[in-house]
Chain A
Amino acid sequence: AQSVTQLGSHVSVSEGALVLLRCNYSSSVPPYLFWYVQYPNQGLQLLLKYTSAATLVKGINGFEAEFKKSETSFHLTKPSAHMSDAAEYFCAVSGGSGGSQGNLIFGKGTKLSVKP
């Protein structure tokens, strides 16, 4: 069974500061990991994904995440926050092939606020 824990339901940073959103997972099979972003009144948009290739994954809008198996973590970072980054971010895990293991399990989300 898979699960995802996102530490911090709300994170606030100043414009230009580092963004760090934390995600820890548990999985009984090699995991596939995803970060999605949800802007107000919109659906979810894929930021980046880890699928067992490079452990450092680069995504859209300057975000990246590093898969650390020893820490079971997949934290999302961005060196310099922009006002347009204000949104809710979801970490998700899936694994295996077929059946329920292939379903996405989401964390509870982290709302990012960016102060001018």
Chain B
Amino acid sequence: EAQVTQNPRYLITVTGKKLTVTCSQNMNHEYMSWYRQDPGLGLRQIYYSMNVEVTDKGDVPEGYKVSRKEKRNFPLILESPSPNQTSLYFCASRLDSLLSNQPQHFGDGTRLSIL
């Protein structure tokens, strides 16, 4: 089944403790992206990747890192999490990096709580 898989789905942790949220897609998609969703703000893009080893900042990249060493994986790294990063996070992918008329496929989300 074609899907975007995120792990973990839920995480409660403390300020400053490094964490990684994994994202994997099995559709051989070139483009991948991370969003955070906050009440009343919709989804905002954190980082995106056009292909392996090609990543770029989205609208809210501060406090986050990403890597794209393989086509299928796009982990989101919080080196020193802070409470303002408590949010619902979504990973998404799209088949072609250049064809923005294609829809993105979303994972089921990761709810992070930073205490």
Bound-state CA distance A43–B104 (Å) is 11
Q: Is A100 an interface position by the 8 A CB rule?
A: yes
Complex interface: stretch among A11-19, A62-70, A71-79, A90-98? A90-98
Asked if A43 contacts B42 (CB within 8 A), the reply is no
Give the total of A residues in contact with B, Cβ under 8 Å: 29
Interface residues of B in 25-42 (CB under 8 A from A): 31, 33, 35, 40-42
On whether the beta carbons of B100 and A96 are closer than 8 Å, the reply is yes
B100 touches A9 (CB 8 A): no
Residue numbers in A under 8 Å from B99 (CB-CB): 97, 102
Q: How big is chain B's contact interface, by range?
A: 20 to 34
**Nearest A residue (CB) for B9:** A41
Query: CB-CB < 8 A to A41: which residues of B?
Result: 109
Q: Assess the A34–B103 pair: CB atoms within 8 A.
A: yes
Is the CB of A49 closer than 8 A to any CB of chain B? yes
Known A43-B106, A43-B107, A103-B58: A51·B45 in contact at CB below 8 Å: no
Q: Counting CB contacts under 8 A, is B98 at the interface? A: yes
Give CA–CA (A56, B93) in the complex, Å: 26
Query: In the complex the two chains form, what is the Cα distance from A51 to B99 in whole Å?
Result: 11
Q: How far is the CA of A114 from the CA of B92 in the complex (A)?
A: 29
The answer to whether A104 and B98 touch across the interface, beta carbons within 8 angstroms, is: no
Among A34, A46, A102, A108, contact of B40 (Cβ-Cβ < 8 Å): A108
Q: Is the CB of A101 within 8 A of B100?
A: yes
B90 and A32 contacting across the interface, CB-CB below 8 Å: no
B101 x A49 contact (CB < 8 A): yes
- Inter-chain contacts of A49 with B (CB < 8 A): 101, 103
CB-defined interface of A81-116 with B at 8 Å, one 1/0 digit per residue? 000000000100011111011111111110000000
Interface positions of B (Cβ within 8 A of A): 4, 31, 33, 35, 40-45, 48, 50, 56, 58, 90, 92, 97-101, 103-104, 106-109
